[in-house]
Structure 1
């Protein structure tokens, strides 16, 4: 299955279960990149528009580039009221955007799906002079017993699970190779997630590697997720230790 097809049929569950980004992170992006109402940001692999929405709410114009039809349609339905929102069917490697046309490129929970060399070339083409690229993930805290239990469930039931965030860890060499001269700024922002059972289950089902109802082990997978929730929840809520990690630099 092509990476662009992995989220087909998951747009609704993705939209309602995936977390947004801390306000502190949005403040940081706007401040360090001097973004304002005249700025244009390309959100590459924009999905259902979670980060796109947060930027639009700050009056930044966003070009949301998404190859998956289901995800892009969901974003268009939810964000059409924003005048500064532009939805584009394109990929990280072929955005269809004009040369030297954007002030910042963002890839939120998406960089691990890209052909990184071709994406780098595309960033250089579409960015204005000295415009930067921001790569961001909402990441689980692996010191947590809850997260460790979650990992074991995915390993047991999901054949295509190779790790969260596409298996890209915090200090991977890929960032040194992607950013110019291996120079970038790494920032971490606390972003713990509080969920009820429905939210916790949906968060697990929204993953690209998660089982679907048509899969043989689906019921056993859901049962394992349910048991995990019951083990660590309190008063019907569970806290998933989470943080937002951001890489920002020139390419």
Structure 2
């Protein structure tokens, strides 16, 4: 992970922690089943952010290494996960996790894989993985099916500084498949949706690393546009964002 891919979230950490979506319970249950479930299996959440996904998998009770290089996000992850004694926090990246060799049975990465140097990451995962290591790559991919979702996407494209070059939408399926090659990962899609109040909608949009912050000259203009959009599409004080959560899971050799 480049320095920018780490540092660009520092001023967004609190918004990220509070407003980013969770992941479908069906996905979490599927991942749990993939490791038997065996309480002795060790999990590593790579680029764990503020621990949103980690919190869901930590409930299994398995040992979980929470690997995150951004200090602001890691601090919030420690707070979120303070009740889980099975979590161990590590200052590391996908390319250099800081984990012991042959120590991990399941590696998960949620909403972060597009930031990694995949060649270096694969070598690192192979180093830390035990025999029969599984790697799970997860994304919440926002739909653009409804009129509101199309307007939301349009607003992001208008104000997002480097959205198209940095969004997970740029991660081509072939690039993911090449990471697992010569093996072929299993691919699954899980659907879910969030009904958001105005505060939640505004917080979610502002949590994206590519959206303007409070010091930007267009920040107030953006807030006005978010307000107009919400008022136009809200029903009973809420709008709906729906997601397809994509999962690639398999071994790497």
The TM-score by the shorter chain falls in which range? over 0.9
1:240 maps to which residue? Answer: 241
Give the counterpart of 1:114 among 88, 113, 116.
116
- Residue 76 (str. 1) matches residue 78 (str. 2): yes
Change (3 A) 1:223 1:98: same
Alignment of 1:60-75 (within 5 A): 60-75=62-77
Deviates more, 1:192-201 or 1:153-162: 153-162
Change (3 A) 1:182 1:227: farther
1:176 maps to which residue? Answer: 177
Q: Which runs of 5 or more residues in structure 1 are unaligned?
A: none
**1:182-213 deviation per Cα after TM superposition (whole angstroms, max 9, x unaligned):** 51111111111111111111110110101100
1:194 maps to which residue? Answer: 195
Deviating above 6 A after TM superposition, structure 1's stretches of 4 or more consecutive aligned residues are none
Would you say the 8 A contact 1:175–1:182 is kept in 2?
no
Q: Which runs of 5 or more residues in structure 2 are unaligned?
A: none
Alignment of 1:210-249 (within 5 A): 210-249=211-250
* CA–CA distance in structure 1, aligned partners of residues 150 and 221 of structure 2: 18
Aligned length, in residue pairs: 250
- Residue 149 (str. 1) matches residue 148 (str. 2): no
Would you say the 8 A contact 2:183–2:251 is kept in 1?
no
Task: Report SS of the residue matched to 1:106.
Answer: strand
Q: How many angstroms does 1:144 deviate by?
A: 2.6
Would you say the 8 A contact 1:144–1:241 is kept in 2?
no
Root-mean-square deviation (CA, aligned residues, Å) is 1.5
Query: TM-score, normalised to structure 2's length?
Result: 0.94
* CA–CA distance in structure 1, aligned partners of residues 104 and 70 of structure 2: 22
